[in-house]
A and B are shown apart, each in its own frame.
Chain A
Amino acid sequence: MDRPIHVVGGGIAGLVAAITAAEAGAPVVVHEASGRAGGRALGGTERAGVNLGPHVVFTDGALVRWLRSHHIDVGLRGPVVRGVRVLDDSGSHLPLVESARLAATLPPQRAPVDDSFRAWAEQAFGPTRAALMCRLAGLFTFHDDPGALSARFVWDRFRRTFLGADRVRWVAGGWSTLVDALIERALARGARIDLDDRLTPGTLPEGPTIVATKLSAAARLLERRLDWPGTRTALLDVVTAPGGNWPSIVADVRADLATCCMIERETAVEPGLLGHDRYELFQAHLGVGPGIAFDPAVARIEDALDRAVDGWRERVVWRRGHLLVDSTGAVDPPGTTWRDRPGIDQGDDRFVAGDAVAAPGLLSEVAVNSAVRATHMALEARRRQVFAPGWPSVDLSPERRLAVLAAALPGASLESVELRGGSDRGREIEPVDETGPGYLLGVRAGVVRGTAVTPSPDGSRVTTLAWVRWPEPVARPLNRLYSTLRASVFGSSAWRYALGRRRFR
């Protein structure tokens, strides 16, 4: 192959990277250490359709958007909201509803990076509600003490999970169907997937390489320190014979834990998941601290099952347990954000992707975002190889890209350009999946607004770059373009470039 892009690891990040690179016309080789691509998304081979723990996607998240923009069809199922059972100390489920209601009445608001979620939530919601919210955050952090994490990190996810609950989906047939669809697309686009191909530092290929493994494996392969806090999470999967009127979701928020124990009855969402219509699959997870062994954690999960699911023990036909370490994505301690995690660009045309690197998003979205970003960098590195080294070069900044499109698109006219600085307290810029500093293009009613968002000590600094009025026929494709642009520029240093002021005419 002619100067291929190498991808190490065939999980979600690796497959997304392979497809992105292959669709850009580059030859791609995926090096997968095991006998089957898919990584953690496969969930094991004992039972088809059973994920490694609970897995959901968000329809407004990077994974679903990416799949849609690539026309990869994966069935998605909405949540079953009936039959949610909350186990708390008072036996009531009111606090849950109440806190969700309370949170919903708040204006969009960011929490501070430097405080712990617990400290911030106590101030914002009072100690009782804060304690409950800390525990509930175990649902999406998989952590044993979510209240100790950065308030920004937890609150962003809290809002997406609980206030955007209508956007939660389950992948029909389990994530192995998603993996199969990705593999099929990668192969169809000409990517090569080498199985049982475990690389070592000595066999790491030359040329642009995307290391899309767990962080610890990437560190060994690249022979450098790459680490970030993760979680220890106990998983228990149970298949039972049909039972009674069982809940679809059990949220065990009893106060003996600093987190919650979540149990999902996957067959409530997808009754045919196991092939036998009436068999039931429960999947439970519980974040456990460093000092806690696996057995007591499982005992705690079983206790929750005992209280919420009558007669499950007698009906068990299959079960398995796992203790996952650093397998549920990065968590950000107070004082840090995703930007502080190990960077995608590791120098020498090596890039890392995965769910614990410097990219925005929730869980698997981090893997997708970082994979796309790493691939763009690798493609650029590959292009660079054909040029003599040493020659200067410039990139097309997003601002200039907008300027070019605005000037060139038929019928578009730029109405005004406005450069503004200073803290813009009156306006809250909604960070779309934590886009943060970077570039937002808003398309509303045929008007495009370009905005650069810069962090500053007293909040976000907003610079409006351009307003363009688009003729109606152009507006729709622009909406798609808008999501592409938005996705492609996060984390870029684009905002540093002043807008080509003179260029707008």
Chain B
Amino acid sequence: MEDQVTAAQRGDPLAMDALLTELAPWVGRLCSAIALSRGEDAMQETLILVLRNLPTLREPAALRAWVRRIAVRQSLRMTGDARVVSVPDPPEVPVLQDLDTVMDVRETLMRLSPSQRAVLVLRDLEDLSEQEAAEVMDLPEGTVKSGLHRARKSFRQRWEEG
């Protein structure tokens, strides 16, 4: 993986293509959970930025964290919510185990604001700590914390109502 990154940094098209294969499913998930219907566009923009700016990445091992940051920001930009503002009455993340909940997750995500979705994704899909999530989104930790709390509460409510 790291050899691949190094080769891609040198501009080797095959390595860049392999990197796309490696990153695309994961980036696709991040982007579509945050940007929803604009997920594909967000993914495309993310991957273009990643490949273009790859030479600036000093530590190949830090690739994922770097890509995650770009993906979250591009997804937010795509939804017109580039600046993260805490929004009244947001959602929340239940622990979902079975596939019957697929529709519920989608439905609920749609009712959240993009930044709330981003917080949810980072905490519950990516398993980041609140501090890490705050870092990715350039927010104070407290804002993420309260945002997450509201997000979860609202998500659970909607889910249980549903």
Could you tell me which A residues sit within 8 Å of B by CB distance?
Answer: 25, 380, 383-384, 387-397, 400-401, 403-405, 407-410, 474, 477-478, 480-481, 484-485, 497, 500, 503
Contact = CB atoms under 8 A, between A and B. Distances in A.
Interface centre among A387, A392, A500, by most chain B C-beta atoms within 10 angstroms, is: A392
A392 B14 contact: no
B43 A394 contact: yes
Given A383-B25, A484-B17, A390 B52 contact: no
Contacts of A485: 17
Given A389-B96, A390-B105, A407-B52, A396 B41 contact: no
Interface stretch (B26-34, B62-70, B82-90, B132-140): B26-34
Contact of B32 (A394, A408, A480, A497): A394
A194 to B, nearest CB: 28
B47 A404 contact: yes
B40 to A, nearest CB: 5
A497 B16 CA distance: 23
Nearest to A473: B11
B25 A392 contact: no
A396 B24 contact: yes
Interface in B96-142: 96-99, 101-102, 104-106, 109, 124-125
Nearest to A396: B24
B109 A405 contact: no
A392 B32 CA distance: 6
A387 B26 CA distance: 9
Contacts of B33: 391-393
Contacts of A403: 44, 48
A410 B106 CA distance: 38
Contact of A393 (B28, B45, B51, B52): B28
A388 B47 CA distance: 23
A397 to B, nearest CB: 8
A390 B96 contact: yes
Contacts of A478: 13
A380 B28 CA distance: 12
B76 interface: no
A432 B101 CA distance: 42
Given A401-B20, A481-B14, 10 more contacts: A390-B96, A393-B33, A396-B28, A396-B43, A396-B44, A404-B47, A409-B13, A481-B13, A503-B41, A503-B44
A408 B44 CA distance: 11
B48 A404 contact: yes
Given A396-B20, A474-B13, A388 B28 contact: no
B2 interface: no
Nearest to A403: B44
